């Protein structure tokens, strides 16, 4: 499973990318607005740091404006993926861009029917939102599993499932077990993925035993 960071914080992105574990980035209008800087310059810097796909979202509701914004975003860097909402206009824009071999991430997906329509429109990625479904008492993880089953039924579907709105390590582990192609996680969650209390305990035991021995690896 590929791991994307859901972030527009270039300092954090650079720091976490040092281990070469970040496969891509997802941004949205809220994240870019919170950065309080020129979004084109910021996206270009992010695309220079991360060699994988970087999703950047259109903000207009109508098709002509969406397409114009997509053209602007595409010129920022070669690894930009155009992000569109799962609206009727968004699906039409996805279809138009996909026919031009432009990579598209269809976001704000909350049902299997939506995911299937995004796939038929040629989406490179479809982004189901787990946490937001959980917030209203529905099962976000179940949605990922259902989409996976549907996509597996049809060999002609090439759309990747990009699990989004991940709120916990449990969410991350669950979508990985289901077989989500991608999980995009906030920086806070990403920093927790490698941690386990038994790992910390084991390191402490090994370190204490080694110190008692008096031996050294470096002399």
Tell me which residues are annotated as active site.
Answer: 83
Q: How far apart are CA 57 and CA 164, in angstroms?
A: 14
Token code pair at residue 118: 């995004």
Closest CA relative to residue 90, chosen from 109, 73, 106, 74: 106
Q: How far apart are CA 76 and CA 196, in angstroms?
A: 39
Residue 179 sits at the vertex; the CA angle it makes with 173 and 184, to the nearest 5 degrees, is 60
Contact 160, 124 (CB under 8 A): yes
Contact 131, 167 (CB under 8 A): yes
């Amino acid at each position: 499973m590929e791991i994307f960071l859901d972030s527009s914080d270039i300092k954090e992105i650079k720091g976490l990318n040092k281990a070469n574990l970040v496969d891509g980035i997802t941004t949205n209008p809220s994240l870019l607005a919170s950065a309080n800087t020129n979004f084109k310059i910021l996206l270009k810097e992010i695309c220079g740091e991360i060699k994988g796909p970087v999703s950047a979202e259109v903000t207009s509701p109508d098709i002509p404006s969406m397409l114009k914004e997509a053209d602007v975003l595409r010129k920022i860097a070669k690894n930009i993926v155009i992000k569109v909402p799962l609206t009727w206009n968004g699906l039409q824009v996805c279809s138009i861009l996909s026919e031009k071999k432009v990579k598209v991430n269809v976001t704000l997906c909350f049902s299997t029917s939506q995911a299937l329509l995004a796939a038929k429109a040629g989406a490179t990625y479809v982004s189901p939102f787990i946490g937001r479904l959980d917030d209203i008492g529905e099962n976000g993880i179940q949605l990922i599993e259902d989409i996976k089953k549907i996509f597996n039924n049809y060999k002609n579907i090439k759309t990747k499932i990009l699990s989004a709105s991940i709120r916990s390590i449990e969410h991350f582990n669950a979508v990985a077990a289901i077989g989500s192609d991608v999980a995009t996680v906030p920086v806070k969650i990403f920093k927790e993925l490698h941690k386990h209390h038994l790992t910390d305990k084991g390191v402490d035991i090994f370190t204490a035993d080694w110190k008692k021995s008096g031996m050294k690896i470096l002399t």
